[in-house]
Amino acid sequence: MKYISTRGEAPAKKFTEILLGGLAPDGGLYLPEKYPQVTRAELDDWRNLSYADLAFAVLSKFMTDIPAADLKQIVHRTYASGNYRNGRADSDIQQIVPLRTLEPGLHILELSNGPTLSFKDMAMQLLGNLFEYVLEKQGEELNILGATSGDTGSAAEYAMRGKRGIRVFMLSPYGKMSAFQRAQMYSLQDPNIFNIAIRGVFDDAQDLVKGVSNDHEFKARYKIGTVNSINWARVSAQIVYYFKGYFAATQSSDESVAFSVPSGNFGNICAGHIARMMGLPIGQLILATNENDVLDEFFRTGVYVPRAANRTYHTSSPSMDISKASNFERFIFDLVGRDATTVCELWTKVDAGGAFDIKGMPCWHDLPGFCFASGKSSHLDRMKIIREIWQNFGVMVDTHTADGIKVGLEQRRPNLPLICLETALPAKFEESIIEALGRNPERPAGLECIEKLPQRVELMDANLEMLKAYISAHAMTY
């Protein structure tokens, strides 16, 4: 399996050659030269596999330059039940990602039983083990640079803490995450973890990561890698739970389902898009945004208008407070028939602070064939959904998952089972749960007073040169 850039100016590379780097040298994102196809026989064979065995089956199609025995060991070490015990006591933890049925045809795929209570753990735990494996094979070390709107940062830091030869520099928007999310990250005292709070919004932090990545001399000198969802390994790991959710919600591979996905940076639903392209019977991919509805606007109108930081709303589903979705470029690459020239033309406008409109392009007529629907949710909407799900089913959901349920119920096609992807446990967004339900969410053991732990964080302006100077002063050098 070889990987190519969405912008067409980078040489094709193997999986282990793109694992550590993130962005391609031409500024594009890596994708497989072609998506591997899954046969009906494979779907039938995979239906009753454990999560670890399913992950090995799926990832073997993408990570072909890692010996099968090594990959199997990495995957089984990652998806062991002991790594996913921080969730609800009534979950079937042995399944890693249990499917909770609220009523016939309406399900929640529980993805938040990992160490940081977020779906990001599903990919990040694997990424940490893959990084360590490849770095050891190559005799190298790595400085990881990432940006987070809430959950990516803690998932990355918990996956990388204590890992030999790895340092993590994680940017987050100052004052824009929940107190629990801040505490999860900033309370870590591991010497290889560096938290940097950026005065601005997530998009400012994400732009800084891209700015460093596009400085090829600096990136090479300090061996800068990335764990954001621009890293292909994360997207490929997320593909696995779409297969698991499908198998849990269906009886045979003749059935189709709808997935509803809370969406900010387009990484999670991009994995669902790829699963569908591989042959998983997904009849509908429902993209749910909050008030930052740039992606919903695109799927409704064909116009993609990323918003400036001062036009990005701070909401009660803060991990989706994103107005420039990095992974969206991967989908557009497929939508325009993998024409890298067109992608370059469109992203030249985006990178210059502009927008693009596909209504006059042939791909506008191809868009329905990709089975997307979309919608948005407001603060009042998510409060209402949290109350209704609690009152009707005795299940507590977080604000982001509530966005997904709200839009999923509105947009799903009749008679199509709906699987809503869980984003995080309610404990991470306590203030909103108290507002909706008048009670505190339960916290897993050991996290009851996490906000009171000492915190270590560097406050910084959204300035590329300041960030580079900080990395220079604290990174491992070569």
CB atoms within 10 A of CB 81: 15
At 288, the amino acid letter reads A
Active-site entry in 13, 14, 120, 359: 120
Distance, CA of 21 to CA of 274 (rounded, Å): 21
Grouping H, G, I as helix, E, B as strand and the rest as coil, residue 357 is strand
Query: What DSSP letter does each residue of 75-137 carry, written as one string?
Result: HHHHT-GGGS-SS-TTS-GGGSSPEEEEETTEEEE----STTSBTTHHHHHHHHHHHHHHHHH
Strand order in the sheet with 193-199: 224-226, 142-147, 166-173, 193-199, 458-461
177 and 449 in contact (C-beta within 8 Å)? no
Distance, CA of 339 to CA of 331 (rounded, Å): 12
Helices and strands, counts by H and E, the chain: 19, 15
Q: Rounded to an integer, what is the distance from CA 1 to the centroid of its chain?
A: 23
Burial level of 297, CB count in 10 A (0-12/13-18/19+)?
middle
Distance, CA of 191 to CA of 61 (rounded, Å): 36
Query: What DSSP letter does each residue of 229-285 carry, written as one string?
Result: TTSHHHHHHHHHHHHHHHHHH-SSTT--EEEEEE-SSSHHHHHHHHHHHHT--EEEE
Residue ranges of alpha helices (H) inside 311-443 are 328-335, 340-351, 363-366, 379-393, 399-411, 430-437
Verify whether residue 120 is a known catalytic residue: yes
**Hey, which residues are catalytic here?**
120
